[in-house]
Amino acid sequence: MAHFAKIDSNNIVEIVHVVNNEVIKKEDGTEDEAKGKEFLNSLFGSATWVQTSYNNNFRKNYASIGYTYDSVRDAFIPPKPYNSWVLNEDSCQWEPPVEFPNVNNRYNWNEETQQWDYIGPALPE
């Protein structure tokens, strides 16, 4: 299945729709993003649609409501969680200014102190 994000005039994702792969296939069997856009516009009226990859094969991240589509980076970027976090240009994910301390424990980011606050041991699986 192909997935398409509807973006508003500020490039913010409003919704993601699934489209059957057969709809976007060209005669030679390759996928055509434009065919998906045409299909969705025929259903919902004129809008801006950008294909997204559930497996993150293109456009860096799978689009979700509230993400921004950056046409320069050709990537979907999640909302910035904290003012101090910076965008990793390769992954287009936000990263804290201080590395996460220990994957075997649970922590919350403390924006005021700019550090990770320990909240307890890892939960059992």
Name the helix (H) or strand (E) containing 116.
Answer: strand 115-121
Tokens of 18: 């699934």
Residues in Cβ contact with 41 at an 8 Å cutoff, skipping those fewer than 6 apart: 47, 49
Question: Cα(10)–Cα(28) distance, rounded to whole angstroms?
Answer: 35
Domain extent listing, the chain = 2-79, 80-125
Q: What is the pTM of this model?
A: 0.88
Question: Cα(31)–Cα(22) distance, rounded to whole angstroms?
Answer: 9
- What does the pLDDT look like over 51-99, one tens digit per residue? 999 888 899 999 999 999 999 999 999 999 999 999 999 999 999 999 9
Q: What is the pLDDT of residue 73?
A: 97
